[in-house]
Structure 1
Amino acid sequence: MGYLPSPLVCLTLVNSVSLAHFGYDQGIFAGALISADFIATFPETKDPAVSGITSSCFSLGAFFGCLASFLLGDRLGRKKTIYAGLAVNVVGAVLQVAAYHLPQLIVGRLINGLGMGVISSTCPVFMAEASPSHIRGKLVVLGSLCNTVGFCVANWINYAIFDNNGPFQWRFPLAFQLVFSAVVVAILPVTVESPRWLLMQGRFRDAQVTLARLRETEHNLDNTKLNDELRSIQKALQEEQEARVSIGDTLLCRDSLRNLHRLVLSCGTQLMQQFSGVNALGYYLPTLLVESVGVSNTYARLLAGANASLYLGAAFICLILIDRVGRRKLMMYGSVGTGSCYLIAAITLKEADLHPEQKANLGKATVAMFFLYYFCYGTSFAKVPWVYNSEVNSLGWRVRGAAAATATNWMSGFVIVQFTKVGVDRLGWGFYLLFAGFCWSYLPVVFLFYPETSHRTLEDMDEIFKRCRSLLVFRDAELTQRSRPLSLIEAEQSRIREVSAVE
């Protein structure tokens, strides 16, 4: 990726640690649910429905956090929005750690989720708006990769302290999330604000200085490349403001930038991510391994930790592939790969029911499919949706689009986590067959409707949606090729000339 100037390094750290916190929160509660002291403190969680709501209320809180980001993100700016999310997150974490009654625990998880919803919908957008286009995908995926690091750390902490049967076994892991918040609070003051947001506020000089710091040309504000990038953003913003229509007209698809269409595409990636069933496994993998496959509690935690490490390795591979292969191909590959893993897992579990004497060997095959699923998912839907929804929306709708997409992610996660335990208990192997169908259905959806966003500037996306009025993209090579089309390069040069002529 080359040398990164320090403001971009600081912003990358803020994004990475914030999303590591996100991943940690997703993975840590799975260990609490099978902790002896946790069950003794909250015996109500023995009921699958209560266990489901205790886990999933975090996602419900995050959904409302995304709505808050949708309403306030463009008013407060990126940095202040993250500060607000951090403050709420800390309150929720403290309530959980100090909980001795189920209502307090649930309220703590709701508040914790509320803060995480704000942070998770803002950080990828902040990162995308500040990054150079040629490494934007890598930097956004790096944050998402750190989400996997957090998930991996959570699983190994759960395994490492399993032998401690007291409250430390679950209170310490829940308290550890405060470390992530402390790191972000330490770094955030030395980051810069988004130059695109500053331009939206009419603060041209501040935007120029900020962009210069991000591009390491702060000692030469007359740098041609710097000012060409600024002019291109400024012209795209001007055209967007001239084309702006009311919310009602936007919802009726009467705007030239097709913001609703772009919003649906970004929400769709997050819907696909969650209905691939990742949180069904993330929150309940130890439980599923114990109840569906038949392994011991200790071995289930060890397998969950090993699986998280494999998932982390897959995320590193995605970091390499995201700009080389493109967003479309990775999502289509993910659809086929994850769906096939679920099908084989369903078959092996069904055969284990029919042939109990073969349960041990078939159980190993099922575990292998869970591992392979995480590899396929980690190199596709785990990372691509976070990049895609930070790229596809227009500047005026980028935070709102990302907030709506992330809200879709959290609400879908709430539904999945809430009904996983009940679904496994009632459907058995058929529960995994259901997810196989979901995953395979994404292949035609991505092929038909999703334009490529790699190697495009954020302003290119406006040009794409102004020119192409059809919902179907598969027939147009410019919309599906990985390399940047010549027409978009020419459009950018035209924007720069127009602003230069006015000056």
Structure 2
Amino acid sequence: MPWSYLGGLEGMPLLVGLAVVNSGKTSYPKGVFSGALISADFIRLFPQTKHANISGITSSCFSLGAFFGCIASFTAGDQFGRRKTVWLGLSMNVVGAILQITAFHLPQMIVGRIINGFGMGVISSTCPVFMAETSPFRLRGKLVVLGSVCNTIGFCIANWINYGLYANNGPEQWRFPLGFQLIFPLIVAVILPWVVESPRWLLLKNRHEDALKALAKLYGKSHALDDQDLNDELSSICRSIDEERKNRAPTKDVLLFRDSNQNMRRLLLSCGTQLMQQFTGVNAMSYYLPTLLIQSVGVSSAYARLLTAANATLYLGAALLCIFLIDLVGRRKLLLYGSLATGCCYLVAAITLKEALIHPDAKKTLGAVTTSMFFLYYFTYGTSFAKVPWVFNSEINSLGWRARGAAAATATNWIGGFIVVQFTKTGVNNLGWGFYLLFACFCFSFFPIVYLLYPETCRRTLEDMDEIFKERRGAFVFSHPVLTQRQRPQAFIEAERRRIEAASDSEEAGARAPRGLLAV
């Protein structure tokens, strides 16, 4: 397919199209399976899932498949490019969904979920990087979150479909919801041919002319390839790539924290946000909220589905709010607030469930308080840990390690989800209210970790990230205003100016003297 056709969109429509592609990592498959697990026909056909461990592996194998999908994209993202890697993930999603829809035996259902998860792992590790590398830095947080909001819309739709089909006791109660997930890869497949490849990946592959065309389309300047600001931006990125290549260290030195770009430290920070996200217990809620409401609170199956759907709608509202908060407040503050808020929700839920055991006459009132804590948890999670790790993960790594860092971080997310989901039902059965206290402790522990170790990435260009780690070697960031303030530091603006000036003196860059800064 010729380049002139690829990337038919331009300017803001192109950025919206990229956000739609980023929505391919939808939570619909996770949300919809919570309803399948309590469907009468599903239990009749797969009676093994009555056992907690079998139910756990049937749910969590999706996350296990996603983990291996992330490992596959560790090299695929840089080898094949962002667009082709997304195509690979979409294909696996379709195959996995079809296997689940047509399953009459549990092994086929599990294989289908693993393949589906594999595709989701590929997409979820590639799309945020794709979005970050093609977004203007002032809009990057909003656009990455916007793509993730589409993810939340899928989760919301899944829960309302589960509720709407509650009265249907036939196979349609779970087969139709599982089949509906094919809509999402179809939408992405329609949009994907019209978006450009990442200009940074194209430069990484020394395709300078294609990179310039891609960058021009992103700025809506495809008919003005000689635009000064456009070429300045290309020069800045080229210079950053040249410096990274010049300072590239052997893998051994990277693993031992000896390289000047501190790639391993950056990778661990991005993995850390994803690990924290999973150990807020969100997947325990995503897969098992109806089950938790039935077992822990004591509501009916129908009411549990209704509450789950209403909760998903609240979660969507929180995600929409996060679009405005992500750049207004900054990454660090949202993570700090999220750790305290989600921890408090779990703590109150644990206390009310314990009190319900001591005072059975107040069980209904205490159950209502517990349910409200689940709702409040989703709101606070939706405005913090639900979205910030995906943004941070796509920003923090260097260009040479961005795809690999994102793959490692997303793999951490999915393996963490596998662990949490696998043991949720067993934990609720054996620990009761203590299960929620455990997650409260996890959430509270994230506050000092973020405060001490995590720099602010809001309003920085992707090339600014190298400045953060080249000049400041210490692991602790809390005492450095340049690393924690929301506004872009002047030192980073001056560093970008130096990169453009250095590129202007190079025959390879071929850029003129800068007249302005326009950073992606």
Q: TM-score range by the shorter chain?
A: over 0.9
**Does residue 1:368 correspond to 2:372, yes or no?**
yes
Secondary structure of the residue aligned to 2:61 is helix
Equivalent of 2:90 in 86, 90, 95: 86
Query: Is contact 1:326-1:454 (8 Å) kept?
Result: yes
Please report the TM-score for the alignment, with normalisation by the length of structure 2.
0.95
Q: What SS does structure 1 have at the residue aligned with 2:384?
A: coil
Matched, 1:116 2:120: yes
- 1: CA distance between counterparts of 2:285 and 2:189? 31
Matched, 1:429 2:433: yes
Whether 1:313 aligns to 2:317 is: yes
Q: Is residue 145 of structure 2 the alignment partner of residue 138 of structure 1?
A: no
1:350 aligns with 2:354: yes
**Partner of residue 200, structure 2:** 196
Choose the corresponding residue for 1:162, options 160, 166, 169. 166
Map of 2:492 onto structure 1: 488
The alpha-carbon deviation at position 139 of structure 1 amounts to 0.1
Equivalent AA in structure 2 for residue 501 of structure 1: D
- The aligned counterpart of 2:18 is 11
Secondary structure class of the residue paired with 2:166: coil
Between 222-231 and 332-341, the greater mean CA deviation after superposition: 222-231
**Counterpart secondary structure, 1:152:** helix
Q: Which whole-Å CA distance do the structure 1 matches of 2:89 and 2:309 have between them?
A: 29
- Tell me the alpha carbon deviations over residues 78-132 of structure 1, each in whole angstroms, 9 at most, x when there is no partner: 0100111111111111000000000010000000000000001000100000000
Structure 1 residue 9: Cα displacement: 2.5
Q: Which residue of 2 aligns with 1:271?
A: 275
Displacement of 1:248 in angstroms is 1.1
C-alpha root-mean-square deviation of aligned residues, in Å? 0.8
Q: CA deviation at 1:317?
A: 1.0
1:448 is aligned, of 443, 449, 452, to 452
Q: CA deviation at 1:158?
A: 0.3
Q: Secondary structure at the match of 1:5?
A: helix
Partner Cα separation in structure 1 for residue 21 and residue 391 of structure 2: 16
Contact 2:20 2:150 in 1 (8 A): no
Q: Distance in 2 between matches of 1:5 and 1:362?
A: 49
Q: Separation in 2 of the partners of 1:328 and 1:81?
A: 30
Structure 2 counterpart SS, 1:475: coil
Instruction: Say whether the 8 Å CA contact 2:342–2:380 is kept in structure 1.
Output: yes
Partner of 1:145: helix, strand, or coil? helix
Residue-by-residue CA offset, 1:266-289 (whole Å, 9 max, x unaligned): 000000000000011110000000
Provide the rounded CA distance (Å) in 1 between the counterparts of 2:409 and 2:274. 6
CA-CA distance at 1:4 after TM superposition: 4.5
Query: Cα deviations across residues 421-446 of structure 1 (Å, max 9, x unaligned)?
Result: 00000000000000000000000000
Aligned residue in 1 for 2:478: 474
CA distance in 1, matches of 2:44, 2:267: 45
Structure 1 counterpart of 2:52: 48
1:5 Cα deviation after fit: 3.0
Number of residue pairs matched by the alignment: 498
Q: What is the CA–CA distance in structure 2 between the aligned matches of 1:5 and 1:434, rounded to whole Å?
A: 45
Give the drift of 1:238. 0.5
**Could you say what secondary structure the match of 1:472 adopts?**
coil
Candidates 107, 110, 115, aligned match of 2:111: 107
Instruction: Look up the SS of the partner of 2:27 in the other structure.
Output: helix
Q: Percent identity of the aligned residues? A: 66
Structure 2: distance between partners of 1:258 and 1:77: 24
What is the letter of the counterpart of residue 483 of structure 2? L
Q: Who is 1:153 aligned against?
A: 157
Confirm or deny that 1:230 pairs with 2:234.
Answer: yes
**Aligned mate of 2:223, from 219, 222, 236:** 219
Q: Contact 2:392–2:457 (CA<8 Å) still a contact in 1?
A: yes
Cα deviation, 1:320-350, whole Å, max 9, x if unaligned, reads: 1100100000000000000000000000000
Aligned amino acid, residue 19 of structure 2: T
Q: How many Å separate the matches in 2 of 1:366 and 1:227?
A: 57
**Structure 2: distance between partners of 1:289 and 1:344:** 15
Q: 1:169-224 CA deviation, whole Å, 9 max, x = no partner?
A: 00000001111111111111111100000000001111001100111011111111
What pairs with 1:290-329 in structure 2 (closer than 5 Å)?
A: 290-329=294-333
Residue 412 (structure 1) aligns with: 416
Say if 2:82 and 2:197, in contact at 8 Å, map to a contact too.
yes
Over residues 444-484 of structure 1, what are the superposed CA-to-partner deviations in whole Å (9 max), with x where a residue is unaligned? 00000000000000000001100000000001000000000
Q: Distance in 1 between matches of 2:134 and 2:190?
A: 20
Letter in 1 for 2:367: G
Retained in 2: the 8 A contact 1:70–1:400? yes
Query: Please, which moves more after superposition, 185-194 or 406-415?
Result: 185-194
Mean Cα deviation higher: 3-12 or 47-56: 3-12
Alpha-carbon separation, structure 2, partners of 1:180 and 1:214 = 24
The equivalent residue for 2:35 is: 31
Distance of 2:233 and 2:445 partners within structure 1: 39
Q: CA deviation at 1:363?
A: 0.2
| Runs of 4+ that moved beyond 6 A | none
Deviation at 1:145, TM superposition (A): 1.2
**Aligned counterpart, 2:73:** 69
Counterpart AA for 1:332:
L
- In 1, the alpha carbon distance for the partners of 2:15 and 2:57 equals 39
Partners of 1:5 and 1:213 within 8 A in 2 = no
How far is the alpha carbon of 1:8 from its aligned partner?
2.2
Are the equivalent residues in 1 in contact too, given 2:11–2:217 (CA < 8 A)?
no
Q: Give the Å deviation of 1:11.
A: 1.4
Shift of 1:6: 2.9
Gaps (5+ residues) in structure 2? 1-9, 511-520
Residue 303 of structure 1 and its aligned partner are, at CA, apart by 0.2
How far apart in 2 are the matches of 1:91 and 1:375? Answer: 34
